[in-house]
Chains A and B, each alone.
Chain A
Amino acid sequence: GNSVTQMEGPVTLSEEAFLTINCTYTATGYPSLFWYVQYPGEGLQLLLKATKADDKGSNKGFEATYRKETTSFHLEKGSVQVSDSAVYFCALSDRSTFGDGTTLTVKP
């Protein structure tokens, strides 16, 4: 069946550091891929998405590229801020299979 594997957290970075959160998936067909974010005390919300191979999703300085050859959708940001502290979930469509989440803490 479908599955998503995220890099284990937690991840702690200093402000303005470069962020990568790895995500790989196993799926039949050509799923759409998503990154959701959950800020403290809030519900899950969509951060970005990509619907086909080589698509790049981007939002709020975050980017992720749909790599079919490596079945990956790694999340990156060039310069993180304290306000980016949250839990990040990688997900694929078809009943939205989610990874277990990666907790990011950014320190000033």
Chain B
Amino acid sequence: GAGVSQSPRYKVAKRGQDVALRCDPISGHVSLFWYQQALGQGPEFLTYFQNEAQLDKSGLPSDRFFAERPEGSVSTLKIQRTQQEDSAVYLCASSLATSGVPNEQFFGPGTRLTVL
């Protein structure tokens, strides 16, 4: 079956531009996570959805970052007025169960964002 997909795979933005990154989770997966992964580091948690509800956004680095999942499936991570420090790979992951139950996350291939 289809895994988690993300688009675009690569995005180059000029400083100050707005970008939107899309995540299509595995069908039926309740939980959806966004991570930011800088070069040579592990993924850093950004935000978490359970269905359409954003239950945790404590990892979003600034108010320029915004995520939504309006119908409980596809999610979009938006970054406004991009800065060079936003350059990273943005990973999306989904899982079948709700948070609090230790379960496997399925990761997408990521979107590599480069801000010039």
A-side interface residues toward B, CB under 8 Å? Answer: 4, 32, 34, 36, 42-46, 49, 51, 89, 91, 93, 95-101
> How far does the alpha carbon of A46 sit from the alpha carbon of B104 in the complex, in Å?
7
Q: A100-B41, A101-B41 are in contact. Are A95 and B107 (CB under 8 A)?
A: no
Q: Are B109 and A42 in contact (CB under 8 A)?
A: yes
CB-defined A-B contacts under 8 Å, sample of 6: A43-B110, A45-B107, A91-B42, A95-B33, A96-B93, A101-B40
Q: Are A32 and B102 in contact (CB under 8 A)?
A: yes
Tally of A-B Cβ pairs under 8 angstroms: 52
Q: Are B105 and A46 in contact (CB under 8 A)?
A: yes
> How far does the alpha carbon of A60 sit from the alpha carbon of B41 in the complex, in Å?
25
Question: Which residue of A has the minimal Cβ distance to B92?
Answer: A43
Question: Which residue of A has the minimal Cβ distance to B4?
Answer: A43
Q: Are A93 and B59 in contact (CB under 8 A)?
A: no
Q: Are B42 and A100 in contact (CB under 8 A)?
A: yes
